[in-house]
Amino acid sequence: MTLREEADYIVNKAISSALPDEAVRQALKTKDFGEGKIYMVAVGKAAWQMAKAASDCLDKKIEKGICISKYGHMKGELPNVECYEAGHPIPDANSFRATQVAIDLITGLNAEDTVLFLLSGGGSALFEKPLVSEAELTDITRQLLACGADIVEINILRKRLSAVKGGKFAKLCLPAKVFSVVLSDIIGDPLDMIASGPAYPDSSTNEMAKKIIAKYHLKLSSEAMKLMDIETPKDLTHVETRITGSVKLLCKAAAEACQHLGYKTLILTDCLNCEAREAGTFLAAIAKTYQGSQESLAFIVGGETIVHLTGHGKGGRNQELALSAAREIGGLYQTALLSVGSDGTDGPTDAAGGYVDQDTQEKLRKQGIEIFEVLKENDSYHALQQVDGLIMTGATGTNVNDVAVLLIRR
> Which pLDDT belongs to residue 305?
95
- The secondary structure element, H or E, covering residue 38 is strand 38-43
> Which pLDDT belongs to residue 7?
98
In angstroms, the first-to-last Cα distance of the chain is: 13
Contact present, 232 and 160 (Cβ < 8 Å): yes
Distance CA(325)–CA(102), nearest Å, equals 44
> Which pLDDT belongs to residue 30?
85
- Reported as half-sphere exposure (CB side, CA atoms, 13 A), residue 143 has a value of 18
Closest C-alpha among 356, 358, 409, 403 to residue 380: 356
* 402 phi, psi to nearest 5 deg: -115, 160
> Which pLDDT belongs to residue 92?
92
Q: Hey, where are the domains in the chain?
A: 3-14+248-408, 19-244
* 127 phi, psi to nearest 5 deg: -115, 100
Reported as a single tens digit per residue, the pLDDT across 330-369 is 999 999 999 999 999 998 999 999 999 999 999 999 999 9
CA 219 to chain centre: 26
Reported as a single tens digit per residue, the pLDDT across 66-124 is 999 999 899 999 999 999 999 998 889 999 999 999 999 999 999 999 999 999 988 88
> For residue 378, is it left (φ>0), alpha (ψ between -120 and 50) or beta?
left
Distance CA(121)–CA(364), nearest Å, equals 34
> Which pLDDT belongs to residue 192?
85
Closest C-alpha among 338, 345, 299, 294 to residue 69: 345
For residue 372, what pLDDT band results from cuts at 50, 70 and 90? Answer: very high
Distance CA(297)–CA(312), nearest Å, equals 36
For residue 26, what pLDDT band results from cuts at 50, 70 and 90? Answer: confident
Instruction: Please say if the pLDDT value at position 186 is more than 90.
Output: no
Cα angle, residue 273 at apex, residues 266 and 169 outer, rounded to 5°: 120
Contact present, 99 and 129 (Cβ < 8 Å): yes
> Which pLDDT belongs to residue 85?
97
> Which pLDDT belongs to residue 66?
98
Distance CA(275)–CA(282), nearest Å, equals 11
> Which pLDDT belongs to residue 122?
87
Per CATH, is 3-14+248-408 categorized as 1.10.260.40? no
* 63 phi, psi to nearest 5 deg: -65, -45
Question: What Å distances lie between residue 164 and 169, 174, 193, 212, CA to CA?
Answer: 4, 13, 13, 21
- The secondary structure element, H or E, covering residue 408 is strand 402-408
> Which pLDDT belongs to residue 239?
96
> For residue 186, is it left (φ>0), alpha (ψ between -120 and 50) or beta?
beta
> Which pLDDT belongs to residue 402?
96
Say what percent of the chain tops pLDDT 70: 100
| Global confidence as pTM | 0.77
Reported as a single tens digit per residue, the pLDDT across 214-247 is 999 999 999 999 999 999 999 999 999 998 877 8
Distance CA(233)–CA(235), nearest Å, equals 6
* 104 phi, psi to nearest 5 deg: -60, -35
For residue 397, what pLDDT band results from cuts at 50, 70 and 90? Answer: confident
Average pLDDT, the chain: 94
Paired sense of beta strands 264-272 and 297-303, if any: parallel
Q: Which fold has domain 19-244?
A: Rossmann fold (3.40.50)
302 forms beta bridges with 403
> Which pLDDT belongs to residue 148?
86
Mean pLDDT of 176-198: 86
For residue 152, what pLDDT band results from cuts at 50, 70 and 90? Answer: confident
Paired sense of beta strands 81-86 and 62-70, if any: parallel
Alpha helices in 114-166 (DSSP H): 123-126, 134-147, 151-160
For residue 151, what pLDDT band results from cuts at 50, 70 and 90? Answer: confident
Instruction: Please say if the pLDDT value at position 189 is more than 80.
Output: no
> Which pLDDT belongs to residue 118?
97
- Higher-confidence residue of 185 and 335: namely 335
Closest C-alpha among 14, 1, 3, 9 to residue 267: 14
Contact present, 91 and 164 (Cβ < 8 Å): no
Burial 249-276 (b: 16+ CB within 10 A, else e): bbbbbbbebbeebebebebbebebbebb
Question: What Å distances lie between residue 294 and 35, 264, 388, 407, CA to CA?
Answer: 64, 11, 29, 13
> Which pLDDT belongs to residue 243?
85
Say how many C-beta atoms besides its own lie within 10 A of residue 101's C-beta: 14
Distance CA(30)–CA(38), nearest Å, equals 15
Mean pLDDT of 288-306: 96
